[in-house]
Amino acid sequence: MSFPRYPAYKESGVEWLGVVPGHWGAVPIKHLGRLKGGAGFPHEKQGIEGEELSFHKVNALAQADIDGFLTDSENTIDRATARELGAFVFPAGSIVFAKVGAALLLGRIRLLNQNACLDNNMMGLVVRQDEFAVSFVRYAMNLVRFDLIANPGAVPSLNEGQIGDFRLAIPPLPEQTQIAVFLDRETAKIDALVAEQRRLMALLKEKRQAVISHAVTRGLNPHAPMKPSGIEWLGDVPKHWDVTKIKRLVATFEQGWSPQCEGFPVETDQEWGVLKVGCVNGGTFRPEENKTLPPELEPIPSLGIVMGDLLISRANTRELVGGAAIAKQDHTNLLLCDKLYRLRFSPTVCSPMFIALYLGTGMARGQIELAATGASSSMVNISQSTILELELALPEFQEQQTIITFLEAQSAKFDTLTTEAQRAIDLLQERRTALISAAVTGQIDVRGADLNTQQHVA
């Protein structure tokens, strides 16, 4: 059944809101409680001993799960510092959001689960709980069009006046609570279904990786005779495969060039660009990950990418370094950067795709990450020898091609299932957004809803 409408409606006086139930009002956010911006905290004032307060930055807001609570922050200050700097201590239950930068445009709303300070890129609302239910206001604020009310520019920003004047539809307090309870229960059901689809996607990813790993290290014939590889981490391999090192297969091994480039990618294949290291993340070559070469710099055409090039990141985070991908067509206007290695092989001895698939296995990844060096966890390096000395078991060229064809077919099946799961997630999230919007604007009346009955938005 559909949710009913309210018996009577009136004009809200707010263009985006339209009509609201006759007994509701349209209330500016500044009348819901106290709006307050965060404060600037010098780095040397953070983490000192004393009675500590959690200190939230805008990146914590952007990375948290949508509609979730902000949990303990890794950043802390003490109360004496907060007083010294005139920083407001937001109580638990405060509604917080970004007021500067890209995170502002996301419009994500969070709740604090403990007393905390905010940095000066964030803002908070302490709701007056004698007249308004925090749980309802949190849902209602998901309708704020931060992108429309913010100051435009390279770095969008928002002040208390802009957000404070934005009006929300507000029913009487008991009804706010009823609506919030309804939304808590219904969104929990939807969130559980989303989580189930995400678990399915994770399982599909694991299964895909297991199929690839088995195929490129054990082959496709489950009855093939095996032999010890002589390499502890590689284990037994098919008896007719050769145990070798990548250096014995490589025809050329190159490293690129990283001039100072523009901050945007090329728009046509008539422009010169330099690849970014992230172009191989996830095992798929993404040519759009590039930066335009300034016109005053002379390109090096020999560094252009051609079909069949195996590209490997030599510098990245520990989880991403050594990521490998194949160029499946020519991109001769895109140049190899110095954070990428390019390997080419004899076309009748070794398939670059087979090597790329092998480099993505847990076995090879373990050796690459073990060999990575660097003082910073955000940037480690692997040497040429890390790749060249890596052992593998290699079948004849024709068997390599058979394995690749099999894995392409299997990957297509996994892609289809993953796409279906993502489509289900998108539909569920659309349903969630529509349900919240309809409930907090009074377009549906959920006061008498049977929460055990499947219903839909009218």
CATH 1.10.287 intervals, the chain: 1-12+171-219+397-458
CA distance 400 to 112: 55
Write the CA distances from 432 to 48, 80, 169, integer angstroms.
42, 42, 19
The C-alpha atoms of residue 342 and residue 252 are separated, in whole angstroms, by 8
Sequence-separated (6 or more) residues with CB below 8 Å from residue 203: none
Determine the pLDDT at residue 451. Answer: 47
The class that CATH gives domain 25-170 is alpha beta
The pLDDT score that the predictor gives to residue 66 is 45
* Alpha carbon distance 187, 179 (integer Å): 12
Q: What is the pLDDT of residue 453?
A: 44
String of DSSP letters for 108-131: --EEESS-EEEBTTEEEEEE-TTT
Predicted confidence at residue 119, as pLDDT, reads: 81
- Whether domain 226-394 has CATH 3.90.220.20: the reply is yes
* Closest by CA position to 235, among listed 407, 321, 346, 362: 362
Q: What is the C-alpha separation between 308 and 285, in angstroms, rounded? A: 11
Q: Where in the chain is the domain with CATH 3.90.220.20?
A: 25-170, 226-394
For 46, the 3-state DSSP assignment is coil
Give burial (CB, 10 Å; 0-12/13-18/19+) of 63: exposed
pLDDT value at position 77? 65
What pLDDT is attached to residue 429? 95
**Three-class secondary structure of residue 450 per DSSP:** coil
CATH number of 1-12+171-219+397-458: 1.10.287
Query: pLDDT tens string for the chain (458 positions)?
Result: 488 999 999 999 999 999 999 999 999 999 999 999 887 766 655 555 544 555 565 555 555 544 555 655 556 666 777 777 778 888 889 999 988 887 777 788 888 888 888 888 889 999 999 999 999 999 999 999 888 888 887 788 888 889 999 999 999 999 999 999 999 999 999 999 999 999 999 999 999 999 999 999 999 999 999 999 999 999 999 999 999 999 999 999 999 998 999 999 999 999 999 999 999 999 999 999 999 999 999 999 999 999 999 999 999 999 999 999 999 999 999 999 999 999 999 888 899 999 999 999 999 999 999 999 987 777 899 999 999 999 999 999 999 999 999 999 999 999 999 999 999 999 999 999 999 999 999 999 998 875 444 444 44
Q: In Å, what is the CA distance from 274 to each residue of 291, 336, 428, 439?
A: 5, 6, 39, 50
Whether the model pTM is above 0.85: no
- The H or E element that residue 427 is part of is helix 397-440
Sign of the Cα torsion 294, 298, 300, 301 reads: positive
Torsion of CA 158, 112, 86, 58, to 10 degrees: -50
Nearest C-alpha neighbor of 334 from the set 256, 286, 274 = 274
Quote the pLDDT of residue 375.
75
